[in-house]
Amino acid sequence: MTGDPTLEPIAKGNDVALCAAGPWTARFAPVLEQMVADAEKLCGSRPNIFIDVSQVDKLDTFGAWLIERLRRSLTHGDVEARIAGLSANYSSLVDEVRRVKAAPAADMTTVSIIGMLDQIGRSVAGFGTTLIQLIDMLGAVLAATGRVLIRPKTFRLTSTVHHLEQVCWRAVPIVGLITFLIGCIISQQGIFHFRKFGADIFVVDMLGVLVLREIGVLLVAIMVAGRSGSAYTAELGSMKMREEIDALRTMGFDPIEVLILPRMLALIIALPILAFLGAMAALYGGGLVAWLYGGVDPEAFLLRLRDAISIDHFVVGIVKAPVMAAVIGIVACVEGLAVEGSAESLGQHTTSSVVKGIFFVIVMDGVFAIFFASIGM
Amino acid sequence: MATETSDAIIRVRDITVQFGVTRVLDGLDLDVKRGEILGFVGPSGAGKSVLTRTIIGLVPKVAGRIEVFGVDLDSASARERRGVERRWGILFQQGALFSSLTVRQNIQFPVREYLNVSQRLLDEIMVAKLGMVGLRPEVADRFPSELSGGMIKRVALARALALDPELVFLDEPTSGLDPIGAGDFDELVRTLQRTLGLTVFMVTHDLDSLYTACDRIAVLGNGKIIAAGSMADMQASQHPWLRAYFHGKRARAVMG
């Protein structure tokens, strides 16, 4: 009963029978396809030919279709090639595949220079659209804030606190650890190079200014974009995919008010706190390395730090934090709401949320640097 | 041939499934015979889907033994298991189509992975399968998010049938379909069972499906099979849940 399927031409008087035998099933599909192609080449133009399937002991859709394909290629004009010896069990299957029309070809995407240029053009144009979407979202969030200020009862405190826990409280350990390590590294590198000039102590100036003005807030913002921005996009995106956002809207709730405002607010509160904690951790790490590696004792470190930095440095750093939080939040929400039906789209938009979030954070940092330089801070 | 049609394609013996302290299935036995359509019913939350998922290996069991095609799935090697998996098809309740692939790619996916055949044959088989589940070839290049609920079920069935399995699991195939669509679907399952010689394991709540499509019905309650048999057996049973189910207002409407 088992064995390989076969297809052999046998002469029967004037006619030629193509005798199919054995199991014509999916398992043997590659072999069967080759046999059918060979038979088509061999007998394609011959008249008086029929297909004998009486020896076939197992047939499924694959086998039935290949027999049907063979029958079609043996058909010339109005004379249809016959299929003989079909058992009653399989006749409905053969009838089923007989109704199959030619398959539509898959549209292939071809790679070409023009296609690549087209892609670049679309990306550039897409950047303009992104900016408009961001401004649109900013406007919508501000309008929602206005509505909530008029009717404070509609403010979602529980939701805000929940998100605050997620983005602030739970981020403290990792933010603290990373900024601590960065502080250590800056300090170590500073001492290593400044020592050549006998200027070890100036590492404190460098550490203080760098951490408080730039690194503290920038690093924390980048971490938050990766940690919370991506989470926002994924949450909103999967809600969008499952029509939860549409459900909210039909119940008369504004998704911006219910979903986005609490998230934005949580982020705007969280980032300055995290930036402050991060700056402290970095200074602590830097001080520790300066003491253990550079021989600057803590007392001298603090004395020097007090001389080197003023409250201005701290203000410059911390003022940037809420703005960066707003940028990260808006980018994440825009991307989340742009998710379409597929898992792939969710992945793309989450990636894009992090990439764009970090990009805009750095752009904002540059803008702030120019601003503070021109007002002399 | 007669002996082959009567033997059990799925043999479940004494299986127990537990989530934490809740025991969902408690020493359950079940046979599914070759070539039959078994309707599987029970109150919501009784563990119908859990049993299905246990048989196909998605939920771990605490005790018991499951044989599919005569292969004990616990002691089977990875190779034997793959062999079994190739011979069954599963229609999940929500369809579980791959959202980033088109209908064409969804149906061709298992075929492409298991068989080394030409793109032409893949396309032709895809169209044949779409035809079998009553869809036109034009939907081939749509994404799952662009399909209606009924179409998703049909495409998912076409994907489950892609490799010409001998056994199909259908988890609530007619839920979420309109009565006409559900009726068509029952008819479709019947036709496919006749044409392809399928064995069908169908979890359902649809009395119409039970009445028109199923050869045999098994009822799950308290973690065990409380009854199994033909529709007539079910109607004759004195078990309170069965009486409520098969003699309720809705049941009377179906059976006239």
Confidence of residue A290 (pLDDT cuts 50, 70, 90): very high
Q: Is the confidence at residue A37, as pLDDT, over 70?
A: yes
Q: Is the confidence at residue B57, as pLDDT, over 80?
A: yes
Average pLDDT over all residues of chain B: 82
Say whether A33 and B119 touch across the interface (CB within 8 A). Answer: no
φ/ψ region of A259 (left if φ > 0, alpha if ψ in -120 to 50, else beta) reads: alpha
What's the rounded Cα separation, in Å, for the pair A105 and A73? 19
Within 8 A of B118 by CB-CB distance, chain A residues are 33
Distance from CA of A243 to the nearest CA of B (A): 11
3-state SS string for B24-85: EEEEEEEEEECCCEEEEECCCCCCHHHHHHHHCCCCCCCEEEEEECCEECCCCCHHHHHHHH
The model's pTM is 0.72
For residue B165, report the phi and psi dihedrals to the nearest 5 degrees: -70, 165
Assigned token pair, B138: 């034009």
Q: Is the confidence at residue A267, as pLDDT, over 80?
A: yes
Within 8 A of A246 by CB-CB distance, chain B residues are none
Say whether A96 and B132 touch across the interface (CB within 8 A). Answer: yes
What's the rounded Cα separation, in Å, for the pair B178 and B180? 6
Q: B128, B252, B134: which is closest to B188 by C-alpha?
A: B134
Say whether B195 and A340 touch across the interface (CB within 8 A). Answer: no
| Separation of CA B255 from chain center | 24
Summarize pLDDT for A211-256 with one digit per residue, the tens: 999 888 999 999 999 999 999 999 999 999 888 888 888 888 889 9
Summarize pLDDT for B190-249 with one digit per residue, the tens: 877 877 778 888 888 778 788 888 888 888 888 888 888 888 887 787 888 888 877 777
Summarize pLDDT for A62-88 with one digit per residue, the tens: 888 888 888 887 777 666 777 777 777
Q: Is the confidence at residue A289, as pLDDT, over 90?
A: yes
What's the rounded Cα separation, in Å, for the pair A27 and A305? 77
Distance from CA of B200 to the nearest CA of A (A): 16
What's the rounded Cα separation, in Å, for the pair A167 and A360? 19
Say whether A93 and B164 touch across the interface (CB within 8 A). Answer: no
Confidence of residue B4 (pLDDT cuts 50, 70, 90): very low
What's the rounded Cα separation, in Å, for the pair A256 and A248? 10
Assigned token pair, A344: 């792939």
- B60 vs B251 pLDDT, higher one: B60
* Percent above pLDDT 90 for chain A: 51
CA angle (A364, A366, A371) in 5-degree steps = 95
Question: Which residue does chain A place closest to B129, by CA atoms?
Answer: A61
Average pLDDT over all residues of chain A: 87
Summarize pLDDT for A198-218 with one digit per residue, the tens: 888 889 999 999 999 988 899
What's the rounded Cα separation, in Å, for the pair A38 and A31? 11
CA angle (A124, A130, A132) in 5-degree steps = 115
Confidence of residue A138 (pLDDT cuts 50, 70, 90): very high
